[in-house]
Amino acid sequence: MSADAKAVQTSQEFDELKTRLKTTWMTGDYDLFSRFMQNDAEEFFLRLGIKPGSRLLDVGCGAGQLALIAARAGARVVGCDISTNWLEKARARAAEEGLNITFEEGDAEALPYQDGEFDVVASLIAAMFAPRPDLVTAELTRVCRPGGIIAMGNWTPEGFIGQMFKAISKHIAPSGMPSPVLWGDEATVRGRLREGISGLKCTRHFYHFDYPFPPEKVVEFYRINYGPMSRAFASLDANGQEQLRRELVELWSKHNKAVDGTTQVDAEYLEVIATRAGNNRNVAQTTATQKTGESMSKRAAALADRIEEGAATLAAFAEGLSDTEWRTPVSATDHRSVGIIVHHVATVYPVEIDLARAIAGGKAVSEVTWEVVAQLNARHAQEQAEVTKADALELLRRNSREGADAVRAFTDEQLDRAAPFSLSFGAPVTAQFVIEDHPLRHSWHHLARIRKAVGR
């Protein structure tokens, strides 16, 4: 019997299971707990490219983290969750900000909404914990309108949180329930999201946990505020609690990147973006708007996705660098610091896209030579000698996203158009070549150099 096919044997057992799950998620203080996950929730939302006015359903909204972010961006938001106490917190937070959001009790396995009611159906680290993934899949798909998107963020089995769940799962995993982290396994997700789905993209990202206290206090913070952890400790006697505490402190300490008494841990999750099959007319698109009379290029979309992937991978790695590593020269011959290089990658996205546009328009590019590039790089290094990590990463994320959106607007004809290009020594190259060799390759190229410089 497959993991998805497993089920509790009686309605009474299933009712008991649902009651335990609801009690688990209503334990602790998820409102406080989720505040430390705010920044990456915003990154998750921004990558969706949701337009103002779009109808968005946040499944498993908790205390309103993702719903509030979406409403601030102009989406028309409904949030649902099985935990009624956190819905009250969410309503209060929305009222404080003057945001018009509907929060109501709802189960991911039986959503109380009409077919095709939403442009976007999102669930960030939430629906993955429902016990019947086949019903979750059917419901997320059902309430999403044709051409809309279904977006999930799910912990991976091999990631940090997946490892943490292994330590506590024997105390909290009810019988008959498939592992939640199977939603973080791409093969499993592709097997689940098939019916009614016309496109599916899975990308690995990192949640950056940053706590202003050491691992020992982090474990205590989770014990008090995170429902599953709290319930796990409560199920053990004093000796069992101490053993679990030691295991978790060791796990957090092993993965901690901070050296100043705080805790910084990267936790991998799988971002799942599925497109609901059907007519795409009036869809709140996650990419650039289609040109009138032209079909959107699948090649351009793929190039744009790879640009975003490269930038996100570079940003995730750079986020975890220490101050010393941030200031480390990238090589014996290139004395620019790692930080300057990250900012350099971010800065040149608009330039590289403009070069691709020129070639796509059939215009020869002759004035941009490698000598000119070297001069620009030298001036940039002087001007950005004290660049901060926060500023560099903000620019990297913004420019890469805007650059990817610009690439998505290219047609196949434009991608195939060629013109002489000075950075290729005057060879007539296509716009697609320029995109692949510059904005796409650039982040990966410098990430490899940075890894070598810091010895990782």
In order of 114, 263, 380, 434, 441, the CA distances from 351 in angstroms are 46, 38, 14, 11, 14
pLDDT at position 172 is 56
pLDDT band, residue 2 (cuts 50/70/90) = very low
pTM (predicted TM-score): 0.60
Task: Supply 72's token pair.
Answer: 């601030």
pLDDT at position 5 is 40
* pLDDT tens readout for residues 355-412: 999 999 898 988 888 888 888 888 988 888 888 988 899 899 889 988 888 898 899 9
DSSP single-letter state for residue 290: P
Q: Which of 320, 233, 324 is nearest to 268 (CA)?
A: 320
pLDDT at 444 over 60: yes
pLDDT band, residue 295 (cuts 50/70/90) = very low
For residues 453 and 330, is the Cβ–Cβ distance under 8 A? yes
For residues 274 and 150, is the Cβ–Cβ distance under 8 A? yes
Give phi and psi for 437, each to the nearest 5. Answer: -85, -15
Question: Mean pLDDT in the chain?
Answer: 88
For residues 33 and 225, is the Cβ–Cβ distance under 8 A? yes
18: helix, strand or coil? helix
pLDDT at 67 over 80: yes
CA distance 414 to 362: 9
pLDDT at position 296 is 60
pLDDT at position 448 is 92
For the ranges 130-144, 146-160, 294-308, 351-365, which has the lowest average pLDDT?
294-308
pLDDT at 169 over 80: no
pLDDT at position 292 is 34
For residues 443 and 314, is the Cβ–Cβ distance under 8 A? yes
Written as one letter, the residue type at 147 is: G
* pLDDT tens readout for residues 171-222: 555 455 788 999 999 999 999 998 899 989 999 999 999 999 999 999 999 9
pLDDT at position 116 is 94
pLDDT at position 10 is 54
CA distance 4 to 192: 9
Q: Average pLDDT, stretch 297-326?
A: 89
The helix (H) or strand (E) run that includes residue 105 is strand 102-105
Give the largest Cα separation in the chain, rounded: 75
Q: Which residues contact 235 (CB under 8 A, 6 or more apart)?
A: 171, 172
Which string of b and e fits 241-274 if b means at least 16 CB within 10 Å? eeebbeebbebbeebbbbeeebbbbbbbbbbbbb
CA distance 432 to 412: 9
